[in-house]
């Protein structure tokens, strides 16, 4: 059976490097995508919610709804049909980010009900993620790495205070109470992290032959 795996985690956790290593390893035997974005329409939404500074001047609820819109589009036009065709999907971020960033990081836990309801609708008659692999990093390290990353394209998500990163980290832990999450210690070398990711994928039956 095809699997839907979400890769998520703290800013500066090296998630991008890990996704590149996985793409190199698995090539097009697996469909790689991302949130927000992943289809032409969802990439339009990404430009609004991630790249446009106007989004930072709006409300958390508004951004939350845009992330949901991108997710529904991605599920409809890419994830569901791909899984149905028998291929695995690896996604760079997913609903775990909405939970950790909007509900916990931005302290809008009153959106929990809406978040749960959105999951029910978005994954109605569709496959929800089989596994979330979360790259975990202490808050100070996450903030420092994000700031040091000069190559990073500036977006309005980048500069936050330490408390925000602490809340995001706790948010992933809270998400994991009810969801199939495995945490990976992202303070180690990229190669060590990559090996652990491959082991977790092997446990899901995903290897070069599977
Ligand atoms: P991106 O530059 O792609 O970050 P990264 O390379 O770290 O994945 O920007 C995605 C940003 O969007 C990231 O800061 C997390 C944020 N985000 C949310 O706040 N909520 C969400 O639901 C999603 C999917 C992402």
CA–centroid distance, 101 to ligand 1, in Å, is: 8
Report the nearest atom of ligand 1 relative to the CA of 152.
2
Contact 200/182 with Cβ under 8 angstroms?
yes
Among 103, 186, 128, which Cα is nearest to 6's?
Answer: 128
Least confident of 151-160, 178-187, 195-204: 151-160
Residue nearest to atom 15 of ligand 1 (CA): 97
CATH number 3.30.56.10 given to 4-203:
no
Close Cβ partners of 33 (under 8 Å, ≥ 6 residues apart): 74, 78, 79, 89, 90, 91, 92
CA–centroid distance, 53 to ligand 1, in Å, is: 14
- pLDDT 10s digits, 138-159: 999 999 988 887 555 666 666 6
d(CA 127, CA 66): 21
Report the nearest atom of ligand 1 relative to the CA of 49.
12
Residue nearest to atom 20 of ligand 1 (CA): 98
| pLDDT attached to residue 160 | 87
| pLDDT attached to residue 130 | 98
Q: Which residue has the tokens 């969802």?
A: 42
Query: Would the pLDDT of 179 be above 80?
Result: yes
Contact 146/158 with Cβ under 8 angstroms?
yes
Report the nearest atom of ligand 1 relative to the CA of 35.
24
What's the whole-model pTM score?
Answer: 0.96
Q: Which residue has the tokens 């775990």?
A: 96
DSSP state of 127: P
Query: Any residues with Cβ below 6 Å from ligand 1, and which?
Result: 11, 15-16, 35-36, 50, 67, 92-93, 97-98, 101-102, 155, 157
What integer best gives the mean pLDDT of the chain?
Answer: 94
Among 146, 125, 134, 62, which Cα is nearest to 95's?
Answer: 134
Taking the domains of the chain in order of start, what are their residue ranges? 4-203
């Amino acid at each position: 059976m095809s699997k839907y795996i979400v890769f998520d985690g703290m800013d500066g956790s090296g998630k991008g490097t890990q996704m590149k290593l996985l793409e190199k390893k698995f090539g097009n035997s697996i469909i790689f995508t991302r949130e927000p974005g992943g289809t032409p329409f969802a990439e339009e939404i990404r430009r609004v919610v991630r790249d446009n500074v106007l989004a930072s001047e709006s409300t958390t609820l508004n951004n939350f709804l845009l992330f949901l819109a991108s997710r529904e589009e991605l599920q409809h036009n890419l994830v569901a049909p791909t899984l149905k065709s028998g291929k695995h999907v690896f996604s760079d971020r997913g609903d775990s980010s909405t939970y950790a960033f909007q509900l916990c990081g931005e302290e809008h836990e009153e959106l929990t009900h809406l978040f749960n309801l959105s999951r029910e609708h978005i994954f109605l008659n569709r496959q929800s993620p089989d596994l979330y692999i979360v790259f975990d990093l202490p808050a100070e390290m996450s903030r420092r790495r994000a700031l040091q990353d000069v190559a990073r394209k500036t977006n309005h998500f980048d500069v936050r205070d330490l408390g925000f990163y602490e809340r995001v980290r706790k948010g992933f832990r809270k998400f994991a109470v009810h969801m199939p999450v495995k945490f990976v210690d992202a303070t180690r070398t990229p190669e060590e992290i990559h090996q652990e990711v491959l082991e977790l994928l092997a446990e899901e039956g995903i290897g070069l032959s599977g």
